[in-house]
Amino acid sequence: MKHIKTLHKGTLKDSLKNGGCGECQASCQSACKTSCTVANQACQKQ
Amino acid sequence: MVHAFEMNGFYIAVDVNTGSIHSLDRITYEILKAFPYDFSADKAIQMFGEKFGVEEVKEACHEIEQLIEQGMLYSPDLDQPLLMRQIENKSGLKALCLHVAHDCNLTCEYCFASKGSYCSERRLMPEEVAFKALEYLAQNSGDRKNIEVDFFGGEPLINFEVIKRAVDYGKELEKQYNKKFYFTITTNGTLLDEEKIDYINEYMDNVVISLDGRKSIHDAMRYYRNGKGSYDEIVDAARNLVSRRGNKSYYIRGTFTNRNLDFSEDVFHIAELGFEEISIEPVVGGGQPFHITDKHIPIILDQYERLAKRILDYIKAGNKLKFYHFNINLYGGPCIQRRLVACGAGFEYLAVSPEGHFYPCHQFVGQPQFIMGDVFKGIDDPKGLSEQFKRCNILTKEKCKDCWAKYFCSGGCHANAYYTNGSIDMPNELACLMQRKRIECALMMEVALSLESA
C-alpha cells in the first residue's frame, strides 16, 4: 500500500478463543501500585 | 472505532477492537481523524478532495476500504455479552499484597498510608497472619499455577524476619498445592544492607525501590523523621542491589507531584545513575498543595511526549532504558480476558493488613467499610464488595465504553476513582488524560522502532 503501512495485525478477537488462563502477572503487583497498565503485561503462553 | 493521532512526525492509527496498528501518511491520517466511528469514502472525497487532490484521496480511501475488508480498521465491537460472561467466569485468587509493616522510618509528605501507619496504630504483621494469608492464597487460587505475593508496607523490611519465614513457608506450600509463588517486595531502600540485598536478589522475583529522581526533588518529599533526606543512602543501596541482581527484574519507582512537573529530568537523572528499569508515576489524591490538578495537565502531557522522544533517542544511541508506562507489548500482550478488568482488585487481587483483614487492594487498607473478612475465617463480604469490583470494568463503566484506549488501559485504578469521585465506577478524568497520552507515547515509540528496523 502507498498510504498505509500496517505494523501490527491485532489479535484481540482471536485471543477470546484461547485466552483467559489467568497465569499472567497481576498488574498492580509490578511497578506501579497506583496506576495500572495492563497492556504492558506479557502473556505467559507466548 | 479508530483512533488516529500524530506525534513526533509519525501519523498513527489504532483499530480499537482488534488492536491493529497502522503507520499513515498525512492524507490517510486526516481522513481517519475525521471519521472515528464510521467511514464514508464519498464524504472523505468531499472533505479532502480539494486539499489533497481527488485522485489521491480516492486512492487513500481505497486502501482504507481494503483494511476494513481485512478486519483491521473499523472492526465491529466484540460480543459484549460473551465478554461479560468471561468476567463472570473468572474465579480464584491470583495475588496478595501483604502489609507486613504498618510502620515506616520515613515520613514522606505524599504518603497515601499516613506516613506508613494507615491511620491506625503502628503495627507489624505476625508470622501466623502471613502464613494464613499464604495458605489462603494457595487454597483459593483455583487451577492457576502462578500466584503472587508482594511484601508491602509502610516499610516491609522493618519486618524482615517475618518476610523470610513467609517465603520459606511459601516454598513448602508450593509442593503441597502444586503452585508457584512469585514473591516481590516494594521498599523505600533505606534499610537495605548486604544481608537483605543478597536475600532479595535470591528470593524476590521483582523488587521495587522508591527513588523520585534528582536529590533536591527526592529529599523534599522523602525524608526521615528528623527531616533529613534519604536520597544518598537509597542511591548507594539500590546501585549495590542492582549490580548484583543479574537478569532478574527490578524497578526504580518514583512519584512526581506538581513540584516536579519537569519529571522527565528525574527519569533521566535515574537513568544516568545507571538504572535501566524505571517508573515515575503521578501522585494520587487531591487537596494537598503538591497534588496534581487540571491546570497541570497540559504541562504533564507535554512532559510525557518529551520523555518518549528522549527515551527513543537514548535507545537508538545504544543505551537501555525501560520506562514502565511506555512498555506496551504489542506483539505478546495479554489476551482480551485480561484486558477487561484491570488489576482484578477485590476478586483476583486482595491486600492483607497486619492484623489479617482482607481489603480489595492496598489503597483501601485502613478504611473499615472495605474490610472483606480475614485470613483466619476467610472472605466475609456481606456488602458484596467482591462482586461490585468484578462488575466494575470497561464494559460497565460509562466513561470507558467509548474510549479508544480501553483495551490498553483496562479501566484504570479503582482507588483513584473512589478517592476522587466517590465511586469506583467513575474513573478519575486526570488519570484518564495522562493514561491516554502515555499509551500514545508508547505506540509512537513502537512505530518508530518498527519502521527503523523494517
ipTM reported for the complex, 2 dp: 0.92
What number is the average pLDDT over the span A34-40? 69
What number is the average pLDDT over the span B149-175? 97
Q: How confident is the model at residue B184 (pLDDT cuts 50, 70, 90)?
A: very high
What number is the average pLDDT over the span B303-314? 98
Mean per-residue pLDDT of chain B: 95
What number is the average pLDDT over the span B406-431? 93
A31/B332 touch (CB, cutoff 8 Å), yes or no: no
Q: Is the pLDDT of residue B115 over 80?
A: no
pLDDT at B286: 83
Residue A10 contacts B where some CB pair is shorter than 8 Å: yes
Q: Is the pLDDT of residue A38 over 90?
A: no
Residue B257 contacts A where some CB pair is shorter than 8 Å: no
Residue A17 contacts B where some CB pair is shorter than 8 Å: no
| B436-446 pLDDT, tens digit each | 999 999 999 99
pLDDT at A30: 67
What number is the average pLDDT over the span B418-431? 94
Q: How confident is the model at residue A34 (pLDDT cuts 50, 70, 90)?
A: low
What number is the average pLDDT over the span B404-422? 93
- CB-based contacts of B107: which residues, under 8 Å, 6+ apart? B115, B116, B223, B224, B225
What number is the average pLDDT over the span B178-192? 97
What number is the average pLDDT over the span B56-84? 96
Q: Is the pLDDT of residue A35 over 70?
A: no
* Closest in B329, B331, B447 to A40, CB measured: B329
pLDDT at B214: 98
Of B114 and B79, the structure prediction assigns the larger pLDDT to: B79
Q: Is the pLDDT of residue B277 over 70?
A: yes
Q: Based on C-alpha coordinates, what's the Rg of chain B?
A: 24
State the residue for C-alpha cell 489504532: B14
B282/A5 touch (CB, cutoff 8 Å), yes or no: no
Q: How far apart are CA B97 and CA B363, in angstroms?
A: 10
Of B193 and B117, the structure prediction assigns the larger pLDDT to: B193
Instruction: Please tell me the least confidently modeled range out of B26-30, B63-67, B83-87.
Output: B83-87
Q: Chain A: give the shortest CA distance to residue B70, in Å.
A: 10
Q: Other CB atoms closer than 10 Å to residue B406's CB: what's the count?
A: 22
Q: Chain A: give the shortest CA distance to residue B279, in Å.
A: 7
Q: Is the pLDDT of residue B420 over 80?
A: yes
What number is the average pLDDT over the span B214-232? 97
Q: How confident is the model at residue A46 (pLDDT cuts 50, 70, 90)?
A: low
- Tell me if the bond preceding A10 is cis, omega within 30° of 0: no
* Closest in B146, B343, B408 to A23, CB measured: B146
Instruction: Report yes or no: B322 and B280 within 8 Å, Cβ to Cβ.
Output: no
Q: Is the pLDDT of residue B74 over 70?
A: yes
Q: Please tell me whether residue A34 adopts helix, strand or coil conformation.
A: coil
pLDDT at A36: 63
Residue A4 contacts B where some CB pair is shorter than 8 Å: yes
The C-alpha cell that represents B8 in the structure block: 513526533
Q: Is the pLDDT of residue B44 over 80?
A: yes
A4/B63 touch (CB, cutoff 8 Å), yes or no: yes
Phi, psi of B343 (to 5 degrees): -80, -10
